[in-house]
């Protein structure tokens, strides 16, 4: 189940369309760095799993708008909790990574010396 919501772009896409529905190019502009293909694939996956709806607009040229569903909105609280946890522990995680990279991890050194 986590692979449906925890990939690189899912959270960012849902955040981008949470306040109001948006067209494909608007979402792409909000998510600086996402490729056209990655966004198209992610939106298809999100629609398939019930997190977003896709509406074809009667405009010339034809436009498509994406909106978050109630199921997609239900991820807001868990995402906010995860973001809060990451902010609270980011420094600690960074320091641990630095120690590990420097070979200062006592558990790693003990195993390596066996």
Residue-level pLDDT at 60:
86
pTM recorded for the entire structure: 0.72
Q: What is the pLDDT of residues 2-36, one digit of tens each?
A: 766 777 788 889 888 988 999 999 999 999 889 99
| Range 99-109 average pLDDT | 73
Q: Are 9 and 38 in contact (CB under 8 A)?
A: yes
Both ends of the chain: CA-CA distance in Å? 39
If you ran DSSP here, which 8-state letter would residue 50 be given?
T
Q: Torsion over CA of 7, 18, 41 and 54, rounded to 10 degrees?
A: 150
Q: What is the pLDDT of residues 62-92, one digit of tens each?
A: 889 999 999 999 988 888 888 788 889 999 9
Q: Are 98 and 74 in contact (CB under 8 A)?
A: no
Q: What is the pLDDT of residues 42-61, one digit of tens each?
A: 999 999 999 999 999 998 88
Residue-level pLDDT at 108:
57
Rounded Cα–Cα distance for residues 17 and 22 (Å): 6
């Amino acid at each position: 189940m986590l692979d449906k919501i925890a990939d690189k772009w899912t959270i960012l896409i849902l955040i981008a369309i949470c306040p109001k529905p948006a067209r494909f190019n608007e979402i792409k502009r909000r998510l600086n760095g996402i490729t056209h293909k990655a966004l198209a694939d992610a939106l298809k996956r999100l629609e398939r799993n019930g997190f977003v709806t896709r509406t074809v607009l009667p405009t010339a040229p034809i436009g498509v708008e994406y909106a978050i569903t109630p199921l997609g909105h239900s991820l807001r609280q868990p995402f906010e909790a995860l973001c809060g946890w990451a902010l609270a522990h980011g420094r600690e995680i960074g320091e641990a990574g630095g120690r590990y990279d420097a070979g200062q991890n006592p558990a790693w050194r003990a195993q390596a010396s066996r």
